[in-house]
Structure 1
Amino acid sequence: MKSWYHSWVAAIRIARRDAWRFKGRSFLVLAMIALPILGVSAADLTLRSADLSTEESLERKLGAADARVSDPGMGGTPIYQLPNGESNAPVGNFDNKPWPEGSTDVRKALPAGAKSLTDSTGAGKLHTAHGLLNTEIRELNSSDPMTKGIMVMDRGRLPLKADEVAATTHFLEASGLKVGSTLMARGLDLKYTIVGAYELPDALETDQVNALPGALLAPLNKALEAADLPGTEATTTFLVDVSDGFTWNMVKEVNTKGVMVVSRAVLLDPPADSEVPLYQTEGWGTYENSAAADAAALAVAATVIGLAMLEICLLAGPAFAVGARRSARQLGLVGANGGDRRHIRAIVLASGLVIGVAAAVVGTVLGVVLTLALQPVLEESFGKRFGSFDVRPLELLGIGLLAVLTGLMAAIVPAITSSRQTVLAALTGRRGVRRSSRVLPSIGLIAVALGATIAIYGSLMTDQFIVVAGGSAIAELGVVALTPALVGLFGRIGSILPLSPRLALRDAVRNRGRTAPAVAAVLAAVAGTVAIATYAASQDAQSRAAYTPQLPHGAVSVMLDEAGGRDVPAVRATVQKMLPIDVRADVDRISVGKTSCSMYDGGEGCGRYEVIVPRANECPLWVSDPAKPDEDPSEKFTLAERRKLNDDWRCKTDGRSGEILIGDAKLLKVLGIEDPAAEKALAAGQMVSFVKANVDKGGKVAIRLITDNKAADEAANLGKEAPGEIKSFTAHEVAGAPDAYGVGLIMTPEAVKTAGLATVPYGAYYSTDKLPSSEQRQRLDSELDKTGSNVSLNIEDGYTSENDIILLALTLFAGLVTIGAAGIATGLAQADAEADLKTLAAVGAPPRVRRTLSGFQCGVVAAMGVVLGSAAGVLPAIGLRLTERRQEMAFYERALDEGWGVGSMPHVPILVPWGTLAALLIAVPLGAALLAALVTRSRGSLSRRAAI
Structure 2
Amino acid sequence: MSAVRAALRIARRTAWRSRGRSALIMVMIGLPVLVITAVLTLTETMQVSPREGLVAELGAADVRLTQVPEGTSDLRQTPNGASFSTGVHGAAVPRLGAAEVTALLGPGTRVIPFDAGVLRLGTERVDALRTDLRDPLTRGMLTLSEGRLPAAAREVAVTPALGVRPGDHLQPSGGPPLTVVGVVEHPFRPSLREVVGPDLAVAPVDELWSPHGYGTGWLADTPRPVSWADVPALNRAGLFVTSRGMLTGPAGDPVRAPGLDVQSTVGIGAMVIMVMLETVLLAGPAFAVGLRRRRRELAEIAAQGGSAWHLRLIVLADGLVLGGAAALVATALGIGAGTLGASVVARWGGQVGPPDVPWPPVLVVAALGLLTGLVAALVPAVQAARQNTATVLAGRAPAADDRPGLPLAGAVLVLAGLGATVVARRQPSSMWVLASAVPVLLGLVMVTPWLVGRTGRPAARLRLPLRVSVRDAVRHRSRTASAVAAVMAVTATVVAVGIGTYSEYMDRRDAYTSARPTGTLAIWAGDIGDTAWNGLRAEVARQLPGVPLAAGYQARNAEGRRYALRYTVRWNGIRTRRTAAIGDQDLLGLLQGRHDPRAAAALASGKAVVFDPAAVRNGRLTLRASSTGGPPRTLDVPAVVAAPADEYQGGALLPRALVEQAGFSTAERQLYAMYRLPESSTLVRDLAKVTPRVTVAFEEGYRNVPDPGLWGWLVGALVLVVGGTLAATRLASADMRPERATMSAIGAPPGTLRLVVAGQALYISGLGALMGLVAGTVTGLALTRPMTTHGAGDPATIAIPWSFVIAVVVGLPVLASAAALITRTRLPLARRLP
**TM-score, normalization by structure 2:** 0.78
Q: Please say if residues 542 and 907 of structure 1, whose CA atoms lie closer than 8 Å, have aligned partners that are also in contact.
A: no
Q: Distance in 2 between matches of 1:844 and 1:464?
A: 61
1:424 and 2:410 aligned: no
Shift of 1:810: 3.2
Q: Please say if residues 349 and 412 of structure 1, whose CA atoms lie closer than 8 Å, have aligned partners that are also in contact.
A: yes
Q: Deviations over 1:448-492 (max 9, x none)?
A: 1111111112224x4343332222221121111211112223233
Aligned residue among 101, 120, 141 for 2:93: 101
Q: Distance in 1 between matches of 2:570 and 2:171?
A: 58
Aligned residue number for residue 308 of structure 1: 275
Larger mean Cα displacement after TM superposition, 395-404 or 199-208: 199-208
Aligned length: 763
Q: Distance in 2 between matches of 1:855 and 1:247?
A: 72
- The percentage of aligned residue pairs carrying the same residue is 30
Aligned residue among 42, 48, 52 for 2:44: 48
Look up the equivalent residue of 2:440 and give its one-letter code.
A
Residues 451 and 692 of structure 1, relative CA distance in 2, 3 Å threshold: closer
Shift of 1:516: 0.8
Q: Deviations over 1:278-333 (max 9, x none)?
A: xxxxxxxx999876x63322321232122111111111111011112112222233
Shift of 1:110: 0.6
Larger mean Cα displacement after TM superposition, 859-868 or 832-841: 832-841
After TM superposition, the structure 1 = structure 2 runs for residues 428-827 of structure 1, keeping only pairs within 5 Å, are 428-460=394-426, 462-548=427-513, 557=519, 559=521, 592-595=534-537, 610-611=552-553, 654-657=578-581, 673=594, 675=596, 691=609, 716-719=627-630, 736-739=642-645, 784-785=678-679, 800-803=704-707, 805-827=708-730
Q: Distance in 2 between matches of 1:502 and 1:693?
A: 64
Q: Please say if residues 329 and 428 of structure 1, whose CA atoms lie closer than 8 Å, have aligned partners that are also in contact.
A: no
Aligned residue number for residue 158 of structure 1: 149
> Structure 1, unaligned stretches of length 5 or more?
222-233, 274-285, 563-589, 602-607, 616-624, 635-641, 695-714, 722-732, 748-756, 767-780, 893-905
Aligned residue number for residue 635 of structure 2: none
Aligned residue number for residue 166 of structure 2: 179
SS of residue in 2 equivalent to 1:430: coil
1:872 and 2:778 aligned: no
Shift of 1:716: 4.6
Shift of 1:790: 6.5
Q: Distance in 1 between matches of 2:473 and 2:705?
A: 41
SS of residue in 2 equivalent to 1:178: coil
Aligned residue number for residue 943 of structure 1: 830
Q: Deviations over 1:599-644 (max 9, x none)?
A: 9x9xxxxxx97436799xxxxxxxxx999999x999xxxxxxx9xx
Residues 262 and 333 of structure 1, relative CA distance in 2, 3 Å threshold: same
Q: Please say if residues 66 and 265 of structure 1, whose CA atoms lie closer than 8 Å, have aligned partners that are also in contact.
A: yes
Aligned residue number for residue 910 of structure 1: 798
Look up the equivalent residue of 1:198 and give its one-letter code.
V
Q: Distance in 1 between matches of 2:240 and 2:670?
A: 41
Aligned residue number for residue 775 of structure 1: none
Q: Please say if residues 690 and 738 of structure 1, whose CA atoms lie closer than 8 Å, have aligned partners that are also in contact.
A: no
Shift of 1:21: 2.3
Shift of 1:941: 2.8
SS of residue in 1 equivalent to 2:52: helix
Aligned residue number for residue 381 of structure 1: 348
Q: Please say if residues 75 and 238 of structure 2, whose CA atoms lie closer than 8 Å, have aligned partners that are also in contact.
A: yes
Aligned residue among 134, 139, 144 for 1:148: 139
1:352 and 2:329 aligned: no
1:832 and 2:742 aligned: no
Residues 345 and 106 of structure 1, relative CA distance in 2, 3 Å threshold: same
Aligned residue number for residue 228 of structure 1: none
Shift of 1:258: 6.4
Q: Distance in 2 between matches of 1:83 and 1:738?
A: 48
Shift of 1:862: 1.4
Shift of 1:236: 3.3
Q: CA RMSD in A?
A: 4.9
SS of residue in 2 equivalent to 1:116: strand
Look up the equivalent residue of 1:738 and give its one-letter code.
P
Aligned residue number for residue 83 of structure 1: 79
Shift of 1:845: 5.0
Q: Please say if residues 591 and 760 of structure 1, whose CA atoms lie closer than 8 Å, have aligned partners that are also in contact.
A: no
1:210 and 2:196 aligned: yes
Q: Distance in 2 between matches of 1:258 and 1:788?
A: 28
Residues 132 and 910 of structure 1, relative CA distance in 2, 3 Å threshold: closer
Residues 24 and 795 of structure 1, relative CA distance in 2, 3 Å threshold: farther
SS of residue in 1 equivalent to 2:114: strand
Aligned residue number for residue 820 of structure 2: 932
Look up the equivalent residue of 2:594 and give its one-letter code.
I
Q: Distance in 1 between matches of 2:560 and 2:669?
A: 37
Aligned residue number for residue 59 of structure 1: 55
Aligned residue number for residue 568 of structure 1: none
Residues 335 and 72 of structure 1, relative CA distance in 2, 3 Å threshold: same
Look up the equivalent residue of 2:371 and give its one-letter code.
L
Shift of 1:840: 3.7
Shift of 1:118: 2.9
Aligned residue number for residue 33 of structure 2: 37
Q: Distance in 2 between matches of 1:257 and 1:540?
A: 44
Q: Deviations over 1:81-138 (max 9, x none)?
A: 3123344569xxx99x84553345322211343333332335454xx5xx46545443
Larger mean Cα displacement after TM superposition, 180-189 or 312-321: 180-189
Aligned residue number for residue 850 of structure 1: 753
Residues 880 and 597 of structure 1, relative CA distance in 2, 3 Å threshold: same
Look up the equivalent residue of 1:807 and give its one-letter code.
L
Q: Please say if residues 26 and 326 of structure 2, whose CA atoms lie closer than 8 Å, have aligned partners that are also in contact.
A: yes
Look up the equivalent residue of 2:629 and give its one-letter code.
L
Residues 593 and 245 of structure 1, relative CA distance in 2, 3 Å threshold: same
Q: Please say if residues 561 and 630 of structure 2, whose CA atoms lie closer than 8 Å, have aligned partners that are also in contact.
A: no
1:193 and 2:111 aligned: no
Q: Deviations over 1:858-908 (max 9, x none)?
A: 2111121111111111122222224457x5351x5xxxxxxxxxxxxx453
Look up the equivalent residue of 1:656 and give its one-letter code.
A
Q: Deviations over 1:360-395 (max 9, x none)?
A: 2332333244334433321112332x2211245555
Q: Deviations over 1:535-588 (max 9, x none)?
A: 233334434544558999xxx8485979xxxxxxxxxxxxxxxxxxxxxxxxxx
Look up the equivalent residue of 2:51 and give its one-letter code.
E
Q: Distance in 2 between matches of 1:201 and 1:327?
A: 57
Q: Please say if residues 858 and 932 of structure 1, whose CA atoms lie closer than 8 Å, have aligned partners that are also in contact.
A: yes
Q: Please say if residues 613 and 657 of structure 1, whose CA atoms lie closer than 8 Å, have aligned partners that are also in contact.
A: no
Aligned residue number for residue 617 of structure 2: none
Shift of 1:517: 0.6
Residues 688 and 168 of structure 1, relative CA distance in 2, 3 Å threshold: farther
Residues 806 and 267 of structure 1, relative CA distance in 2, 3 Å threshold: closer
Q: Please say if residues 733 and 757 of structure 2, whose CA atoms lie closer than 8 Å, have aligned partners that are also in contact.
A: yes
SS of residue in 2 equivalent to 1:56: coil
After TM superposition, the structure 1 = structure 2 runs for residues 387-398 of structure 1, keeping only pairs within 5 Å, are 387-392=353-358, 395-398=361-364
Shift of 1:817: 2.6
Residues 393 and 920 of structure 1, relative CA distance in 2, 3 Å threshold: closer
Q: Deviations over 1:505-536 (max 9, x none)?
A: 22222211101110110110000111112223
Residues 332 and 72 of structure 1, relative CA distance in 2, 3 Å threshold: same
Shift of 1:425: 3.2
**TM-score, normalization by structure 1:** 0.69
Q: Please say if residues 854 and 936 of structure 1, whose CA atoms lie closer than 8 Å, have aligned partners that are also in contact.
A: no
Q: Please say if residues 659 and 743 of structure 1, whose CA atoms lie closer than 8 Å, have aligned partners that are also in contact.
A: no
Shift of 1:198: 1.8
Q: Distance in 1 between matches of 2:314 and 2:376?
A: 14
Residues 786 and 258 of structure 1, relative CA distance in 2, 3 Å threshold: closer
